[in-house]
């Protein structure tokens, strides 16, 4: 997949980042302007000639930029827009909202490698708690001449990550948890004090993430432990994913952090001046920057000729809940941590947005009447900081329906999240992939109200499979039945059994093979003994789940039934790339599954 | 086990609570004064004569009290002391600290069934967030004539629970999570507003639990959602389990709750007067009650003749860490959420107490140098609200050692907690039961620093087993080796394989049988293929773990090795009783295990 030019060099001598960016940048070419494409070509060519060993990835990128110094844009806002237009997705508005704050950090020399001069350099460390604004830093590095253009064309496409990472010049690395940046900042402030250092820590945070309980734990501790070296810079745009109910509380923050200062967050100089003052004043402090954010996610401009894309399955939740409510006449209480759009709630059912505070979204169910159907709509991953509260809810409430959004795209969905939810006492986990399955799960809740029903709601856009489990939501249904050849239940040579969304992927992969294929909507299905025995006698048996293997669907079949199934699923962490790329990175793309099915049929399971 | 008197009645007609309390109360007789014993006898006799059907347990208890109306004590503080002396354990000081607040709630008619009169009755609901002060309510009900004495003698002995429960006249039920009461109160306040009710919600909270992030999420939401019907009554005794670093912040609370009032928390009238004013004033509010707490747990008076009890294994952690630090000369950073005493940290190693804020205890590890060994000492159950932050730590830090205390006694340790921790990315879980195993786990961390090592530290007091896994901490060791009869590795008829603390229990149970017995310290051991094959050929194979069965040690052996092992472990929730009782309730007492081993040898595994 590498170019002819690069193949002529010894691979060991290639600058290490070229392999990461080259193919992705070339794939982006059709979306570039002619000038951009020419620049990328020049940069890639220069990159192949670099043979120096750079101490860090940032240094290597600066080396490429130095080799092709001309700039296409001198305004980082324009660079940000182009990055998102080329990517087709991302958190453009968040990045734009924080851009003046980011520029101020560069101007004050807070960004590693960007000290404007010793006289100006401030003695402080920068923790970027707004994890998604990494692109603002790349854009600013670009206009300041320390970053090439080519990597910018790879954002969210398995090249450059949209979340801050130490690889790309940040002091801290984030996964996805909101509020972690504040913890990282307090950890660093504590360590600096322990070592007797006078440096301060500057933490860039969003007003939305200050809803998270852990940020309170951090600020309360910093105050009580006497840390006097923490400066919290708040991008106060009044929005999490949705608009905040109320502005972030100045009184609360200043109680724990001391000096509170305001700045015009749309004006770099105003931010820089106020931040400099806080850095020069003894003690901790908070800088509230009034900013603006138009939306949350980048929406590519509509192309009139293209048909509207199919909605993601998760966004149909609101309508499905409304139909369920109408059919059953049950009172619903719906809570979401800022994710009404993700679940299509707006205009479909009344709901309460609790802000970015997932533990609270569960807590609010605790004292409601038994008969009320309590719906909590959030992200599978967010729940990982609320499992004790979830246990309180599963053991003390009735009629609890948890919608756990899952994508492994830009927002959450760790591969182990569902398996963790399944381990919580009093839960049953399903991953419906048709409207009928969703409704069957909700109906099942009413017949078993003391068990919390967790529905993994996949963010992917897909056509419903040819058949489904709605008639027996705990069972299994043949998507591709075995040929019976006139026999009642002949032995199977091989078979594949898949869970939830993986069924959609396997169905596509299996078209040319026709391997007998079972589908389950339940993470822990009840297979009837005859079926179990028939599966046990297969020469080779594969399970597929778009879910973590440890403790997952396939391992459950092994543990409960001692079925010699080879469990295929997700083994690593979530990755910072869009859905289609995630599938391929986790060996779950239909073409990859086709190979697994071929092996299954021809060679039996892997050892 | 029932008495002759009760056997003469049709069992279906017995008052339902008698079965729960009678045997336990009789077992307490040796610890009662003669007057107490006589009263209990009279009550039990009266109870057997009750044939009325009571609508609630509280009504039944009031019925018994009415049948034997004379009171042994008229001061509920004295009743509390006697309850704890008879129980031999509990949170006496916490109960005493809150007693004037509890009395005020009775005086104001906030306790169901205790309205002093219509004119006095306030239109409010009481949520008791200080889950452990249930005994204060029982004691007060007793002196007010609505509770018999006999149940008081069963506290923490599998009779009356020390944690608030709807069964015993409370509006809310708690498990163990701190901060849940505030969530329950806000949930109720939200529901009352939604239904257009004017009632207020009074929440009794401790100052320590207000460290929990979820309480901030709740108070922030209540403010932003415009809830004007929440009154937080804080027992401000300046202590969680350990002394607080700083008093609870009046400024923080009053920002979110409005009116803040002080009361002398040692004076019932002062509390009642201030609370009445808050109830009568429109809007939410906070009442800060200055109280005193001497210690945390009840300590029975020392008996000079008795030898000091063996320390619990968990309390040896501090010394073991100190030895490890001395031997390796590594820098340690130790964080605990108020649990220094539980792990024996004080005087052994420097540590940072973060208060009752477990997510923070993990967050503080995030920015420390790679080489520093980061130790987080907390309760296995607490972690269930921090698994996302734990994942941040396991994926971004090195040399992380988590000490997860576990008891299933009064403090935490849900049966699924360890299995959840094992599901977190980048962790390995061990349950050492000897000093050498603890040290082997810590040494292993240094050789595999990118994997977080979770050590389940059992609170039980026990003698170390005869041998241990320290030489191969991931492997298995024979506690009771099979007889070889001169053969190299003869087939086993049956065998038992146990995890961690269960080994201690099985070793005791197995003394008279000599069933071949393997011990593992790792939740996911690496068994060598020859051993696995030998186990597979057993006629009957049992695994034992003092841990949740779903996703646990035994199921892991089935899932990974398809070993036909019968997994014996804990299947239900934690129970509100002391350690010895917990063992029996979970079928883990040595006498019960003896029966399992007998079955194993004679009949093979259960179906």
Query: What pLDDT, on a 0 to 100 scale, did the predictor assign at position A8?
Result: 43
Residue B419: which residues within 8 A CB-CB, separation 6 or more? Answer: A423, A551, B523, B547, B548, B550, B551, B552
Q: What pLDDT does residue A452 have?
A: 97
Which tokens sit at A583? Answer: 């599938």
| B306 pLDDT more than 90 | no
Q: Considering only residues A379 and B266, tell me which one the structure prediction assigns the higher pLDDT.
A: B266
Sorted by sequence, the CB contacts under 8 Å of residue B389 that are 6+ apart come out as A177, A180, A183, A214, A385, B359, B362, B363
Report yes or no: B405 and B315 within 8 Å, Cβ to Cβ: no
Q: Look at strands B200-206 and B230-236 and give their pairing.
A: parallel
Is A238 near chain B, with CB under 8 Å?
no
Whether the CB of A391 is below 8 Å from some CB of chain B: the reply is: yes
CB distance B213–A211 less than 8 Å? Answer: no
Q: Could you give the 3-state DSSP secondary structure of residue A243?
A: strand
What b/e readout covers B61-88, taking b as 16+ CB neighbours within 10 angstroms? bbbbbeebeeebbeebbebbbbbbebbe
Pairwise CB contact (< 8 Å): B217 & A184:
no
CA distance B96 to B267: 12
Within 8 A by CB and 6+ apart from B319, the residues are B344, B348
> A217 touching B, CB under 8 A?
yes
Residues of A in contact with B429 (CB under 8 A): none
Taking 60 as the threshold, does the pLDDT of residue A476 lie above it? yes
The whole-number pLDDT of residue B119 equals 41
Q: Return the residue of B nearest to A421 by Cα.
A: B420
Please report residues of B whose CB lies closer than 8 A to that of A221: 354-355, 357, 360, 364
Q: What is the pLDDT, as a whole number, of residue B486?
A: 47
Using the predicted structure, report yes or no on whether residue A115 has a pLDDT greater than 70: no
Residue A568 makes CB contacts below 8 A (sequence gap 6+) with A542, A543, A544, A545, A549, A554, A587, A593, A596
| Residue B355 in contact with partner chain A when CB distance is under 8 A | yes
Contact A286, A254 (CB under 8 A): yes
CB A583 within 8 A of CB A505: yes
Measured between CB atoms, which of A214, A216, A416 is closest to B423? A416
Instruction: Indicate the pLDDT class of residue A395, thresholds 50, 70 and 90.
Output: confident
DSSP B126-155: EEE--GGGHHHHHHHHHHTTSS-SGGGGGT
Does B363 sit within 8 Å of A214, measured CB to CB? Answer: yes
How is residue B487 annotated by DSSP? -
Nearest chain B Cα distance for residue A229, angstroms: 15
Query: pLDDT per residue over A295-334, tens digit each?
Result: 666 777 766 677 778 899 999 999 999 999 999 999 999 9
Q: Which residues of A touch B566 (CB under 8 A)?
A: none
DSSP A399-456: SEEEEEEE-SSSS---TTHHHHHHHSTTEEEE---SHHHHHHHHHHHHHSTTSEEEEE
Here the ipTM equals 0.92
Say if B411 is an interface residue toward chain A (CB within 8 Å). no
DSSP character for B281? S
CA atoms of A438 and A301, how far apart (whole Å) = 32
Q: What is the pLDDT of residues A68-90, one digit of tens each?
A: 999 999 999 999 999 999 998 88
Sign (positive or negative) of CA dihedral B553, B559, B562, B567: positive
Interface check A183 vs B, CB under 8 A: yes
Total H helices, total E strands in chain A? 21, 16
Nearest to B375 by CA among B354, B399, B357: B399
**pLDDT (tens digit per residue) in A413-453:** 678 889 999 999 899 999 999 999 999 999 999 999 999 99
Q: Which of residues 48-107 of A touch B (CB under 8 A)?
A: none
pLDDT band at A9 (very low <50, low <70, confident <90, very high): very low
Using the Cβ of B555 and the Cβ atoms of chain A, whether some distance falls under 8 Å is answered with yes
Q: What is the pLDDT of residues B450-502, one digit of tens each?
A: 999 999 999 899 999 989 999 999 999 999 999 755 455 677 899 999 999 99
Average pLDDT value over all residues in chain B: 90
Whether the per-residue pLDDT at B176 is higher than 60: the answer is yes
pLDDT of residue B299: 74
Q: Which whole number is the average pLDDT over A333-342?
A: 94
Q: Residue A459: how many CA atoms within 13 Å on its side-chain side? A: 22
In this predicted structure, the answer to whether residue A5 has a pLDDT above a threshold of 50 is: no
For residue B2, what pLDDT is reported? 38
Two tokens at B451?
A: 């994997």
Computed over every residue of chain A, the mean pLDDT equals 90
Instruction: Kindly report the three-state secondary structure assignment for every residue of A144-170.
Output: CCCCCCHHHHHCCCCCCCCCCCHHHCC
Contact B224 A355 (CB under 8 A): yes
Q: Are strands A259-264 and A285-290 parallel, antiparallel or unpaired?
A: parallel
Q: How confident is the model at residue B159 (pLDDT cuts 50, 70, 90)?
A: confident
Q: Over 70: is that where the pLDDT of B559 sits?
A: yes
Contact A423 B419 (CB under 8 A): yes
Shortest CA gap B303–chain A (Å): 39
Nearest-CB residue to A423 (from B190, B392, B550): B550
Which residue from A minimizes the CA distance to B221? A354
- Which pair of tokens denotes residue B562? 């398809």
Residues 118-147 of A with CB under 8 A from B: 127
Confidence class for position B505, pLDDT limits 50, 70, 90: very high
Check whether A156 has a pLDDT greater than 90.
no
CA distance A383 to A211: 15
**Beta sheet of A200-206, edge-to-edge order:** A124-128, A200-206, A230-236, A285-290, A259-264
Residue B47 has which token pair?
A: 């109870």
Taking CB atoms and an 8 Å limit, are B175 and A381 in contact across chains? no
Please name the residue of chain B whose CA is at the shortest distance from the CA of residue A366.
Answer: B184
Tokens of B476: 């298995």
Residues A434 and A308: their CA atoms lie apart, in Å, by 20
User: Would you tell me which residues 531-550 of chain A have a C-beta closer than 8 angstroms to some C-beta of chain B?
Assistant: 548, 550
| pLDDT range class, residue A385, cuts 50, 70, 90 | confident
Q: Which of A412, A524, A417, A424 is nearest to A475 (CA)?
A: A524
Under 8 Å CB-to-CB from A5, ≥6 apart: which residues? A44, A45, A48
Mean pLDDT (whole number) for B429-453: 98
Q: How far does Cα A409 stand from its chain's mean position?
A: 5
> Mind listing the domains of chain A with CATH numbers?
17-290 (3.40.50.970), 313-458 (3.40.50.970), 476-603 (3.40.50.920)
Assess A371–B contact: CB distance below 8 Å, yes or no: no
Contact between A367 and B127 using a beta-carbon 8 Å cutoff: yes
pLDDT tens digits, B183-242? 999 999 999 999 999 899 999 999 999 999 999 999 999 999 999 999 999 999 888 878
Q: Rounded mean pLDDT of A335-360?
A: 94
Q: Is B10 on the interface with A (CB under 8 A)?
A: no
In chain A, which residue's Cα lies nearest the Cα of B127? A367
Q: Please list every residue in chain A whose beta carbon sits closer than 8 Å to the beta carbon of residue B187.
A: 363-368
Q: Report the residue of B165, B216, B218 to disrupt the A interface, i.e. the one with the largest count of A CBs within 10 Å.
A: B216
Give the range among A273-287, B70-84, B145-159 with minimum mean pLDDT: B145-159
Which residues of chain A make contact with B415, given a CB cutoff of 8 A? 425
Q: What is the DSSP letter of B211?
A: G
List the beta strands (DSSP E) in B238-316. 259-264, 285-290
CA distance B207 to chain A (A): 13
d(CA A186, CA A182): 6
Q: CA B302, CA B319: separation in Å to the nearest integer?
A: 24
Higher-pLDDT residue of A278 and B512 is A278
State yes or no: pLDDT of B178 exceeds 50: yes
Give pLDDT tens digits for B339-379.
999 999 999 999 999 998 889 999 999 999 999 999 999 88
Q: Please tell me the predicted confidence (pLDDT) of residue B118.
A: 47
Q: What percent of chain A has pLDDT over 70?
A: 92
pLDDT > 60? residue B167: yes
- By mean pLDDT, which of A150-164, A188-202, B114-128 is the weakest? B114-128
**C-beta separation of A161 from A132 below 8 A:** no
Of B525, B590, B596, B593, which Cα lies nearest the Cα of B556?
Answer: B525
Q: What is the pLDDT of residues A210-251, one digit of tens each?
A: 999 999 999 999 999 999 999 999 999 888 778 899 999 999
Query: CA–CA separation, B298 vs A366, rounded Å?
Result: 31
CB contact under 8 A, A213 and B214: yes
pLDDT of A412 reads 54
* pLDDT score of B174: 85
Going from the C-alpha of A571 to that of each of A568, A586, B297, B343, the distances in angstroms are 9, 8, 44, 35
pLDDT tens digits along B53-89: 888 899 999 999 999 999 999 999 999 999 999 998 8
Cα B424 → chain centroid? 22
Contacts of A255 in chain B (CB under 8 A): 249, 251-252, 255
Closest residue in A to B424 (Cα) is A416
Strands B332-336 and B259-264: unpaired
Q: Which residues of A touch B558 (CB under 8 A)?
A: 558-560, 562
Tell me the HSE value of B121 on the side-chain side, using a 13 A CA sphere.
10
Residue A169 has pLDDT above 90, yes or no: no
Is A192 in CB contact (< 8 Å) with chain B?
A: no
Q: What crossing angle do the helices spanning B387-396 and A180-194 adopt, rounded to 10°?
A: 60
Nearest to B364 among A190, A244, A384 (CB): A190
Chain B residue numbers touching A180 (CB-CB < 8 A): 363, 366, 389, 392
Q: What pLDDT does A123 receive?
A: 77
User: Are B186 and A364 an interchain contact pair (Cβ–Cβ within 8 Å)?
Assistant: yes
A221 and B360 within 8 Å at the Cβ level: the answer is yes
* Inter-residue contact B178 to B223 (CB < 8 Å): no
Q: Could you please report the per-residue DSSP string of B3-71? A: -HHHHTS-GGGS-TTHHHHHHHHHHHGGGS-HHHHHHHHHHHHHHHH--PPPSSHHHHHHHHHHHS---
Look up the pTM and report it. 0.92
For B123-134, what is the mean pLDDT?
A: 90
Q: What is the mean pLDDT of residues B166-181?
A: 84
pLDDT class of B12 with cuts at 50, 70, 90: low
- Whether the CB of A197 is below 8 Å from some CB of chain B: the reply is no
A to B CB pairs, distance under 8 Å: 256
- pLDDT at position A364 is 96
Closest in A221, A359, A384 to B214, CB measured? A359
Least trusted range by pLDDT, from A363-377, B176-190, B347-361, B501-515: B176-190
What is the 8-class DSSP label of residue B358?
A: H
CB–CB contact B388 A385 (8 Å): yes
Of B173, B246, B363, the CB nearest to A187: B363
Provide the pLDDT for residue B123: 78
Backbone angles phi, psi at B455, to 5 degrees: -110, 115
Compute the distance between CA of residue A390 and CA of residue B385 in angstroms, rounded to an integer: 9
Q: Which of A272, A184, A267 is nearest to A233 (CA)?
A: A272
- How far apart are the C-alpha atoms of A330 and A345, rounded to whole Å? 17
Could you tell me if B359 lies within 8 Å of chain A, comparing CB atoms? yes
Rounded CA separation A245/B163 (Å): 35
Write b or e for each residue in A388-421: b if 16 or more Cβ atoms lie within 10 A of its Cβ, otherwise e. bbbbbbbbbbbbbbbbbbbbbbbbbbbbbbbbbb
Residue B120 has pLDDT above 80, yes or no: no
Task: Name the region of B365 (left: φ>0; alpha: ψ -120 to 50; beta: rest).
Answer: alpha
Burial (0-12, 13-18, 19+ Cβ within 10 Å), A154: buried
């Amino acid at each position: 997949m590498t170019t002819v030019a690069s193949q002529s060099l010894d691979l060991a001598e290639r600058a290490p980042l070229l392999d990461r960016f080259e193919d992705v940048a070339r794939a982006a070419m059709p979306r570039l302007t002619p000038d951009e494409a020419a620049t990328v070509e020049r940069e890639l060519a220069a990159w192949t000639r670099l043979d120096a060993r750079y101490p860090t990835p940032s240094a290597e990128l600066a080396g490429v930029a130095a080799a092709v110094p001309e700039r296409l844009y001198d305004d980082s806002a324009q660079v940000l827009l182009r990055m998102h237009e080329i990517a087709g997705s991302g958190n453009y508005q968040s990045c734009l909202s924080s851009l003046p704050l980011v520029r101020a950090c560069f101007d004050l020399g807070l960004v590693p490698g960007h000290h404007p001069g010793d006289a100006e350099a401030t003695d402080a460390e920068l923790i970027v708690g707004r994890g998604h604004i990494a692109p603002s830093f790349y854009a600013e590095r670009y206009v300041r001449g320390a970053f090439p253009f080519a990597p910018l064309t790879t954002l969210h496409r398995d090249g450059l990550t949209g979340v801050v990472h130490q690889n790309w010049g940040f002091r801290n690395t984030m996964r996805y948890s909101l509020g972690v940046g504040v913890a990282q900042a307090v950890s660093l402030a504590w360590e600096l004090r322990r070592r007797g250092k006078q440096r301060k820590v500057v933490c860039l945070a969003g007003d939305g993430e200050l809803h998270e309980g852990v940020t309170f734990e951090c600020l309360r501790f910093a105050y009580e432990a006497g840390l006097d070296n923490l400066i919290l810079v708040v991008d106060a745009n009044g929005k999490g994913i949705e608009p905040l109910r109320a502005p972030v509380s100045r009184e609360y923050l200043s109680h724990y952090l001391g000096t509170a200062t305001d700045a015009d967050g749309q004006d770099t100089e105003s931010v820089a001046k106020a931040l400099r003052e806080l850095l020069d004043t003894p003690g901790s402090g908070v800088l509230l920057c009034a900013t603006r954010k138009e939306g949350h996610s980048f929406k590519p401009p509509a192309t009139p000729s293209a048909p509207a894309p199919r909605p993601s399955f998760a966004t149909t939740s609101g309508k499905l809940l409304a139909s369920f409510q109408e059919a059953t006449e049950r009172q619903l209480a719906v809570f979401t941590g800022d994710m009404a759009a993700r679940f299509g709630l707006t205009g479909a059912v009344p709901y309460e947005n609790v802000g970015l505070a997932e533990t609270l979204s569960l807590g609010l169910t605790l004292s409601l009447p038994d008969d009320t159907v309590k719906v909590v709509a959030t992200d599978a991953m967010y729940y990982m900081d609320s499992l004790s509260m979830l246990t309180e809810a599963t053991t003390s409430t009735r009629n609890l329906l948890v919608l756990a959004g899952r994508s492994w795209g830009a927002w959450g969905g760790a591969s182990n999240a569902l398996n963790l939810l399944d381990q919580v006492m009093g839960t049953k986990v399903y991953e419906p992939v048709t409207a009928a399955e969703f409704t069957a799960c909700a109906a099942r809740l009413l017949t078993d109200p003391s068990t919390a029903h967790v529905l993994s709601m996949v963010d992917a856009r897909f056509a419903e499979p040819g058949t489904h489990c709605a008639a027996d939501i705990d069972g299994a249904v043949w998507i591709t039945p075995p040929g019976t050849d006139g026999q009642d239940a002949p032995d199977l040579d091989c078979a594949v059994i898949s869970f939830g969304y993986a069924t959609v992927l396997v169905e596509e992969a299996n078209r040319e093979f026709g391997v007998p294929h079972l589908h389950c909507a339940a993470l822990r299905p009840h297979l009837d003994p005859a079926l179990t025995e028939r599966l046990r006698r297969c020469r080779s048996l594969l399970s597929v789940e778009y879910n973590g293997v440890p403790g997952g669907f396939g391992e459950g079949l092994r543990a409960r039934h001692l079925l010699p199934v080879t469990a295929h699923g997700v083994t690593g962490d979530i990755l910072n790339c869009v859905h289609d790329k995630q599938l391929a990175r986790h060996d779950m793309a239909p073409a990859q599954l086709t190979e697994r099915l071929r092996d299954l049929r021809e060679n039996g399971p892997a050892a």
